[in-house]
DNA sequence: ACCGCCGGGTGCC
DNA sequence: ACCGCCGGGTGCC
């Protein structure tokens, strides 16, 4: 676990209604049972500073410069002094030790986690034997006295500041001339929360300057690129072939100098030949990347058009897909030896990559693509190294990685590594993040439509992957960027901006190229259709609502609303289900045993239709299991966690967990099968949908529609009248295997007569990237907690390639929990738009309780 | 002189 | 280290 505390303020807005995006029901519950900050001690308070001495310089090779930051590392095993505190420079080389008299109280403070200590060498860096170091102690306010006393007991005294200057002012871009105490007053006035929010929102905007040069792709790319894609290609190629120093490095009289850390080295810092392509969804990140692979093929040359025209053979069955079976194109084995590009992506877009390779690379060209996926994947380093492209998923990558001895992916020296939907590695503790960091390549790319989800911490993982020194080490990232920015330091923010700008290309659908919109998309119109329940339905609904109110009301009285949160959610889900169709609702039963309760809970989570994600792999749940602390994960993921830690704890709530205490999902057959047989009945919402669909078919039989719901069982129910009225339809939900998914999408996108005109789509099935442009109508059957999830869903058809205006119809049941959800959504949106204040966990809980009241009208 | 003072040896933790 | 500290050599003026 890394220590950390400072979340970006915006993360405070992720509360339980913001289920979409990344939150899942199990995570919500975890967040409530937890004391919000899931990290180690809060350290944002400056406890005090003191000047110490670094001794023993002549025994070590590590050097430091005037104003350079150093890190303090405890050495409890040191044979001469168990209080030893080692001093290391930014590159981790040992510089010396803290003099033992001061090391004694420091060791106590560090070992007992009373404070974290940070060092900056103010001057005297050329001393042979010792040098001063300014030490600053950061920690919780409540530890202030303990730290001061400990220092005093050893005959020292902690001051408050160095010469009236805040210590973190040393992080400035000014070549380190302005050092401690002499530094500018500029950063003395912290940014307001509002300024910070604005700056943050704009972090990825306007990154276009100097990135407007265009480049034609290699001839082998048979699709013509749009201007913005040519720009991206040019930018990516120049980054890969660049000899520029990485951001914040400057050459100065033969030395390489990092202006943020004041660290200088003789050797040129490692190049960062890659970056983040953060274009909005639908702008063609995949195509651009394929163009890059083909155009900056080996040794900076494009993939050649071969003389001998040979037809490609596709063998996409079962797991191997090799385009072309001929010899490796010449020139491939020269140079550094790396020839293969590794693409890691979520399962949901795997087939999209294959399709696009097929579509955009000329058929008479040999490009060896290997799909490293499935049980029969060939674990051969040699085979993989000889490919042009190897495609795999995060899950395969991490499962191989967990299997240390047998991960060929980690033994290949890749020409480049591309992480698609790279934001999924935002959690540094997740296995897949660790697996990704161990891949070897000079060129590293992250493709992502959402580079920062809610905090700077996400960005740290990206830097870590890009190996952008020194930000790939947590301590330096925190000291130089994260903490200064979170504290509102202007220089810190400036640095962050320069950093992001230097390695990111981002355009949105609204960006302009030479005054023109990047992409002219057809219109997108939203209608809300209010549905009135029939008398019978209303009666049933009111009864359920009354019962729910009674239960929740009692929790409120007892003050146990938060401890019974799962039950509250269950009640809300039940009400939402009633709005759709009474047949959706399970018989709650009265389980008493823990096991039964857990089975109930996991069933609820899995059947909520929200396409739950596993908090470890962040992908759809595979072999779902629930822990005793009621959190749901993939069995392989959580087993890996348990295996890798001595005292395994739940990643979501830190409760102790054991493999044998995992409870499996019993499967669908346990469920009372939804009444899809003879005794099927309709509902007001289904009727409303059907009348829309029939009317649409009458007007234009070629129009295709998406019918979206969060409840897969609702989709089961809708299938009945669709069949009855002779609609041809497909279906896409989270439970489907990769193959069937791809087939469903392919069938739907096909425009030939008789092709399906309707797709039943589960709200979050497959994540982003799916192309459903054949549809021009979207029916949102039930409101999502998070409107962004709905927008994302619509994006799948409202994107590049859509030729018709897109009409979205949202069904909302009048006088119901659905209407209340919409109201709360609106209110929250206003709040987010207005300001983005830091909410305390207490307020958050309060807000959640108020929302429950509003939803239940209590 | 059980001192002071000198000057050489020596040096992180 | 052009320091401090250690410990041996030394000892009136």
Nucleotide nearest to A129 (CA to C1'): C1
Span A790-801, average pLDDT: 87
Q: Is the pLDDT of residue A179 over 80?
A: no
Which tops the pLDDT comparison, A693 or A659?
A693
Mapping DSSP onto H, E and C, the string for A572-585 reads: HHHHHHHHHCHHHC
Q: Is the pLDDT of residue A671 over 60?
A: no
DSSP A350-419: HHHHHHHHHHHB-TTS---EEE--STT----HHHHHT-SEEEEEHHHHHHHHHSGGG-GGGTSEEEEEEE
Which tops the pLDDT comparison, A215 or A764?
A215
C-alpha–C-alpha distance, residues A269 and A246, integer Å:
8
Give yes or no for a contact between A552 and A574, defined as CB atoms under 8 angstroms apart.
Answer: no
Which tokens hold the place of A59? 């025994």
C-alpha–C-alpha distance, residues A707 and A688, integer Å:
12
Nearest residue (CA) to C1' of B12: A56
Nucleotide nearest to A57 (CA to C1'): B12
For residue A586, what pLDDT is reported? 65
H helical segments located in A245-322:
285-295
For residue A835, what pLDDT is reported? 47
In this complex, which protein residues place their C-beta within 7 A of any atom belonging to strand C? A 58, 129-130
Which tops the pLDDT comparison, A30 or A435?
A435
C-alpha–C-alpha distance, residues A330 and A344, integer Å:
26
Exposed, middle or buried by CB within 10 Å (0-12, 13-18, 19+), for A251?
exposed
C-alpha–C-alpha distance, residues A699 and A701, integer Å:
7
Span A35-59, average pLDDT: 74
Q: Which residues pair with A298 in a beta bridge?
A: A301
Q: Is the pLDDT of residue A437 over 70?
A: yes
Span A800-812, average pLDDT: 93
Task: Report CA-CA distances (Å) from A288 to A229, A244, A301, A448, A667.
Answer: 6, 22, 17, 13, 41
- Of the listed ranges A202-216, A401-415, A727-741, the least confidently predicted one is A202-216
Q: What percentage of chain A carries pLDDT values higher than 70?
A: 81
C-alpha–C-alpha distance, residues A844 and A858, integer Å:
19
Span A136-148, average pLDDT: 95
pLDDT band at A18 (very low <50, low <70, confident <90, very high): very low
In this complex, which protein residues place their C-beta within 7 A of any atom belonging to strand B? A 55-56, 58-59, 78, 80-81, 83-84, 96-100, 103
- Of the listed ranges A157-171, A191-205, A754-768, A806-820, the least confidently predicted one is A157-171
Tens digit of each residue's pLDDT (9 = 90 or more) over A603-655: 777 776 566 678 888 777 888 888 888 888 888 889 988 888 888 888 888 88
State, as a whole number of angstroms, the distance between the CA of A60 and the C1' of C7: 29
Tens digit of each residue's pLDDT (9 = 90 or more) over A548-580: 999 999 988 988 877 777 788 888 888 999 999
Q: How do beta strands A69-74 and A116-120 pair?
A: antiparallel
C-alpha–C-alpha distance, residues A374 and A317, integer Å:
11
pLDDT band at A169 (very low <50, low <70, confident <90, very high): very low
State, as a whole number of angstroms, the distance between the CA of A431 and the C1' of C2: 57
C-alpha–C-alpha distance, residues A557 and A451, integer Å:
43
Span A63-72, average pLDDT: 91
Span A57-70, average pLDDT: 91
C-alpha–C-alpha distance, residues A766 and A771, integer Å:
11
State, as a whole number of angstroms, the distance between the CA of A121 and the C1' of C1: 20
Which tokens hold the place of A297? 């093929």
Q: Which residue is listed with tokens 């003050």?
A: A559
Give yes or no for a contact between A228 and A373, defined as CB atoms under 8 angstroms apart.
Answer: no
For residue A26, what pLDDT is reported? 38
Q: Is the pLDDT of residue A703 over 80?
A: yes
Q: How do beta strands A516-517 and A512-513 pair?
A: antiparallel
Q: Which residue is listed with tokens 């749009």?
A: A226
Highest mean pLDDT among A444-448, A739-743, A844-848: A444-448
C-alpha–C-alpha distance, residues A495 and A488, integer Å:
12
C-alpha–C-alpha distance, residues A161 and A137, integer Å:
10
State, as a whole number of angstroms, the distance between the CA of A103 and the C1' of C10: 40
Give yes or no for a contact between A218 and A302, defined as CB atoms under 8 angstroms apart.
Answer: yes
Which tops the pLDDT comparison, A204 or A842?
A204
Span A3-11, average pLDDT: 35
State, as a whole number of angstroms, the distance between the CA of A231 and the C1' of C13: 95
For residue A13, what pLDDT is reported? 24
Task: Report CA-CA distances (Å) from A602 to A565, A592, A619.
Answer: 14, 15, 17
Which tops the pLDDT comparison, A597 or A181?
A597
For residue A824, what pLDDT is reported? 86
C-alpha–C-alpha distance, residues A858 and A854, integer Å:
7
For residue A295, what pLDDT is reported? 95
Quote the Cα angle for A764-A770-A775, to 5°. Answer: 95
Span A672-690, average pLDDT: 77
C-alpha–C-alpha distance, residues A281 and A340, integer Å:
26
Task: Report CA-CA distances (Å) from A287 to A233, A237, A324, A419.
Answer: 10, 14, 20, 14
Q: Tell which residue, A49, A52, A38, A77, has the closest CA to residue A138.
A: A49
pLDDT band at A205 (very low <50, low <70, confident <90, very high): low
pLDDT band at A42 (very low <50, low <70, confident <90, very high): low
Span A25-47, average pLDDT: 46
- Of the listed ranges A133-147, A189-203, A241-255, A808-822, the least confidently predicted one is A189-203
For residue A621, what pLDDT is reported? 80
Helix or strand holding residue A441 (H, E): strand A440-447
Nucleotide nearest to A127 (CA to C1'): C1
Give yes or no for a contact between A685 and A581, defined as CB atoms under 8 angstroms apart.
Answer: yes
Helix or strand holding residue A196 (H, E): helix A193-201
Nucleotide nearest to A130 (CA to C1'): B12
Nucleotide nearest to A75 (CA to C1'): B13
**Cβ-based neighbours of A381, under 8 Å, separated by 6 or more:** A408, A411, A412
| Peptide linkage before A324 cis (omega within 30 of 0) | no
For residue A837, what pLDDT is reported? 42
Highest mean pLDDT among A193-207, A302-316, A318-332, A780-794: A780-794
Q: Which residue is listed with tokens 């857990």?
A: A598
Q: Which domains, and CATH codes, for chain A?
A: 45-160 (3.30.70.2330), 227-517 (3.40.50.10810), 684-845 (3.40.50.300)
Quote the Cα angle for A10-A15-A17, to 5°. Answer: 125
Which tokens hold the place of A196? 């910070």
State, as a whole number of angstroms, the distance between the CA of A139 and the C1' of B12: 28
Residues constituting chain A: 858
State, as a whole number of angstroms, the distance between the CA of A85 and the C1' of B7: 35
pLDDT band at A11 (very low <50, low <70, confident <90, very high): very low
Nucleotide nearest to A60 (CA to C1'): B12
For residue A628, what pLDDT is reported? 83
Tens digit of each residue's pLDDT (9 = 90 or more) over A484-543: 888 888 899 889 988 888 899 988 877 777 777 777 788 999 999 999 999 999 999 999
State, as a whole number of angstroms, the distance between the CA of A156 and the C1' of B13: 19
Helix axis angle, A490-503 to A193-201, nearest 10°: 10
State, as a whole number of angstroms, the distance between the CA of A458 and the C1' of B12: 40
| Peptide linkage before A286 cis (omega within 30 of 0) | no
Which tops the pLDDT comparison, A469 or A34?
A469
Bases of chain C within 7 A of a CB of the protein: 1
Span A455-483, average pLDDT: 89
Q: Tell which residue, A800, A719, A749, has the closest CA to residue A517.
A: A800
Which tokens hold the place of A492? 């810190």
Q: Is the pLDDT of residue A777 over 70?
A: yes
For residue A677, what pLDDT is reported? 57
Nucleotide nearest to A58 (CA to C1'): B12
Q: Is the pLDDT of residue A115 over 80?
A: yes
Tens digit of each residue's pLDDT (9 = 90 or more) over A808-829: 999 999 999 999 999 888 887 7
Q: Which residues pair with A526 in a beta bridge?
A: A808
> Within its chain, how far is the Cα of A448 from the centroid?
9
Highest mean pLDDT among A165-179, A346-360, A593-607: A346-360
Helices (H) and strands (E) in chain A, counts: 24, 27
State, as a whole number of angstroms, the distance between the CA of A230 and the C1' of C13: 98
C-alpha–C-alpha distance, residues A494 and A515, integer Å:
27
Please provide residue A643's backbone torsions phi and psi, each rounded to the nearest 5 degrees.
Answer: -65, -35
Nucleotide nearest to A86 (CA to C1'): B13
Which tops the pLDDT comparison, A314 or A355?
A355
For residue A847, what pLDDT is reported? 76
Bases of chain B within 7 A of a CB of the protein: 12-13
Chain-wide mean pLDDT for chain A? 81
DSSP A577-632: HHHH-GGGPPP-----SHHHHHHHHHHHHHHTSS--B-TTT-SB-SSEEE-TTS-E
Expressed in angstroms, the distance from the first to the final Cα of chain A is: 41
């Amino acid at each position: 676990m890394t220590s950390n505390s400072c979340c970006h303020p915006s993360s405070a807005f992720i509360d339980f209604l913001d289920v979409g995006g990344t939150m899942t029901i199990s995570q919500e519950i975890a967040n409530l049972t937890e004391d919000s900050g899931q990290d180690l001690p809060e350290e944002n308070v400056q406890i005090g500073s003191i000047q110490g001495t670094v001794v023993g310089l002549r025994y070590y090779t590590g050097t430091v410069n005037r104003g350079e930051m150093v890190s303090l590392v405890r050495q409890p095993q040191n044979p001469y002094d168990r209080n030893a505190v080692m001093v290391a420079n930014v590159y981790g080389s040992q510089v010396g030790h803290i003099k033992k008299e001061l090391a004694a109280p420091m060791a106590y403070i560090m070992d007992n986690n009373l404070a974290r200590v940070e060092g900056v060498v103010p001057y005297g860096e050329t001393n042979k034997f010792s040098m001063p170091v300014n030490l600053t102690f950061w920690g919780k306010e409540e530890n202030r006295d303990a730290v001061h006393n400990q220092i005093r007991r050893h005959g020292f005294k902690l001051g408050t500041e160095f010469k009236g200057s805040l210590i973190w002012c040393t992080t400035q871009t000014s070549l380190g001339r302005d050092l401690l105490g002499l530094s500018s007053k500029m950063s003395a006035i912290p940014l307001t929360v509002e300024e910070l929010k604005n700056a943050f929102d704009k972090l990825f905007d306007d990154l276009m300057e100097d990135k407007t040069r265009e480049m034609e792709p290699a001839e082998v790319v048979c699709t013509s690129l749009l201007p913005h894609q040519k720009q991206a290609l040019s930018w990516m190629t120049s980054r890969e072939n660049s000899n520029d120093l990485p951001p914040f490095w400057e050459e100065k009289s033969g030395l390489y100098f990092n202006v943020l850390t004041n660290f200088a080295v003789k050797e040129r810092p490692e190049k960062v030949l890659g970056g983040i392509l953060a274009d909005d969804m639908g702008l063609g990140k995949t195509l651009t990347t394929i163009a890059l692979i083909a155009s900056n093929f080996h040794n900076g040359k494009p993939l050649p058009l071969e003389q001998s025209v040979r037809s490609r053979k596709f063998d996409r069955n079962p797991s191997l897909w090799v385009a072309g079976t001929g010899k490796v194109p010449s020139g491939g084995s020269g140079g550094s030896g790396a020839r293969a590009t590794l693409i890691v992506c979520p399962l949901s877009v795997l087939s999209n990559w294959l399709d696009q390779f097929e579509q955009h690379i000329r058929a008479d060209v040999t490009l060896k693509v290997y799909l490293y996926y499935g049980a029969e994947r060939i674990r051969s380093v040699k085979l993989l190294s000889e490919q042009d492209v190897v495609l795999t998923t995060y899950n395969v990558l991490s499962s191989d990685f967990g299997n240390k001895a047998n991960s060929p992916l980690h033994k290949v020296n890749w020409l480049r590594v591309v992480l698609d939907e790279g934001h999924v590695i935002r959690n540094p503790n997740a296995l897949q993040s660790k697996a990704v960091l161990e891949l070897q390549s000079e060129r590293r790319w992250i493709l992502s439509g959402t580079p920062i989800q809610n905090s700077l911490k996400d960005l740290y993982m990206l830097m870590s992957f890009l190996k952008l020194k020194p930000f790939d080490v947590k301590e330096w990232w925190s000291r130089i960027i994260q903490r200064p920015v979170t504290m509102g330091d202007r220089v810190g923010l400036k640095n962050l901006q320069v950093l992001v700008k230097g390695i990111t290309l981002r355009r949105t659908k609204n960006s302009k190229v030479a005054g023109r919109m990047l992409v002219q998309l057809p219109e997108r119109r939203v209608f809300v259709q209010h549905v009135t329940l029939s008398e019978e339905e209303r009666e049933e609904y009111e009864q359920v609502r009354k019962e729910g109110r009674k239960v929740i009301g009692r929790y409120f009285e007892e003050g146990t609303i938060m401890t019974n949160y799962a039950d509250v959610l269950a009640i809300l889900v039940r009400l939402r289900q009633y709005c759709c169709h009474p047949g959706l609702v399970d018989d709650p039963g009265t389980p008493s045993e823990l096991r039964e309760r857990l089975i109930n809970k996991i069933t609820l989570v899995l059947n909520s239709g929200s396409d739950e994600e596993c908090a470890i792999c962040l992908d759809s749940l595979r072999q779902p299991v629930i822990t005793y602390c009621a959190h749901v994960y993939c069995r392989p993921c959580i087993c890996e966690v348990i295996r890798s830690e001595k005292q395994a704890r739940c990643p979501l709530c830190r409760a102790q967990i054991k493999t044998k205490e995992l409870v499996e999902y019993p499967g669908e057959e346990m469920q009372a099968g939804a009444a899809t047989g003879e005794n099927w009945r309709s509902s007001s919402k289904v009727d409303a949908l059907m009348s829309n669909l029939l009317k649409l078919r009458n007007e234009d039989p070629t129009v295709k529609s998406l019918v979206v719901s969060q409840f897969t069982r609702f989709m089961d129910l809708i299938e009945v009248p669709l069949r009855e009225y002779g609609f041809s339809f497909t279906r896409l939900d989270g439970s489907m295997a990769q193959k069937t998914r791809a087939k469903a999408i392919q069938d739907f996108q096909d425009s030939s007569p008789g092709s399906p005109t309707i797709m039943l789509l589960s709200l979050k099935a497959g994540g982003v990237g799916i192309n459903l442009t054949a549809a021009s109508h979207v029916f949102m059957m039930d409101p999502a907690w998070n409107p962004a999830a709905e927008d994302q869903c619509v994006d799948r058809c409202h994107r590049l390639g859509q030729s018709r205006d897109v009409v979205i119809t949202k069904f909302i049941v009048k006088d119901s929990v659905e209407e209340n959800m919409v109201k709360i959504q609106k209110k929250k949106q206003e709040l987010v738009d207005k300001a983005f204040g830091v909410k305390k966990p207490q307020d958050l809980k309060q807000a959640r309780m108020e929302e429950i009241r509003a939803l239940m009208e209590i």
